[in-house]
Each structure stands twice: as structure tokens, then as C-alpha cells.
């Protein structure tokens, strides 16, 4: 069985409107393609630009140069290591922060301020 990939966001998961974010998907050595998926599997990016992250790890980076409200939401990644696709990573929830608004479902540990009940 293939190990599940891991997904992280740099510099973090709360990004001001118009700023840059990079999703980093990591898997084992020998990955042919990494795929970053939005919540619906119909929206995804594939890359074969796979780099070696360590002796037993490879990674791919997916950059969004200027995030908008439309980029907010859950992301996950999978990879293709012939002859099959891996399982999906855990979701990473991207929050896009405007001047006074955060576009995303409220999550108590990530919310910048307490929400009234």
C-alpha cells in the first residue's frame, strides 16, 4: 500500500486577501504526479514538477500568487506512483482574510475573534 501524502500551506492557512500562499504536498520517492484537489474533486491541479525533499521523500509545490475569496476552503492532495493513485491527504483549510472579514466556515481554534453564539 502507498503511504498517504501530507499537505501543508506556507506561510500558513490564514492568508490576507491578495497575498501569496504555497501548498506543499509530500509523498514517498518515485512519485510521478502530485495532484492538489479542492473540496470537489472536479477542481484540481496536476504537476509533474516533483522534487526530492529528503532521502525517502518527494514533494511538489502549488503556488497561488494572489489569493481571493474564491481560493478559501478545504484542499487535499494525492499522488500517482505507477501503477496507481494514493489515498488522499488530510484536508488543509485555507482561510482568506479581508480587511474585516474571514471567508471560511467558523472554526473556533482558527477564528481571529470569538463569534457570538
Alpha-carbon separation of residue 6 from 10, 58, 76 (angstroms): 13, 11, 8
Bridge-based pairing of strands 92-97 and 14-16 is parallel
> Do the domain assignments include residue 1?
no
Secondary structure (3-state) at 79: strand
Please give the Cα distance from 101 to 24 (Å, whole number). 26
Does residue 109 lie within any of the structural domains?
Answer: no
Is residue 17 domain-resident? yes
Q: For the residues 91-107, what does the mean pLDDT come to?
A: 74
Which CATH number goes with the domain that contains 83?
A: 2.60.40.10
- Residue 113 falls inside a structural domain: no
Work out the number of other CB atoms within 10 angstroms of the CB of residue 115: 8
pTM of the model: 0.81
Q: Note down the domain range covering 86.
A: 6-97
Domain count for the chain: 1
Confidence of residue 117 (pLDDT cuts 50, 70, 90): low
Q: Mean pLDDT, the chain, as a whole number?
A: 88
Q: How do residues 81-97 score in pLDDT, each as one tens digit?
A: 999 999 999 999 999 99
Amino acid at each position: 500500500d502507498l503511504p498517504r501524502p501530507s499537505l501543508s500551506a506556507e506561510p500558513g492557512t490564514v492568508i490576507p486577501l491578495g497575498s501569496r500562499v504555497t501548498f506543499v504536498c509530500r509523498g514517498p520517492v518515485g512519485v510521478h504526479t502530485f495532484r492538489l484537489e479542492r473540496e470537489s474533486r472536479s477542481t484540481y491541479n496536476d504537476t509533474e514538477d516533483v522534487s526530492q525533499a529528503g532521502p525517502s521523500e518527494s514533494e511538489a509545490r502549488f503556488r497561488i500568487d494572489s489569493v481571493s475569496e474564491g481560493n478559501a476552503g478545504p484542499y487535499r492532495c494525492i499522488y500517482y506512483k505507477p501503477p496507481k493513485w494514493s489515498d488522499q491527504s488530510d484536508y488543509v483549510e485555507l482561510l482568506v482574510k479581508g480587511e474585516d472579514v474571514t471567508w471560511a466556515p467558523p472554526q473556533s481554534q482558527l477564528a481571529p475573534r470569538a463569534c457570538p453564539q
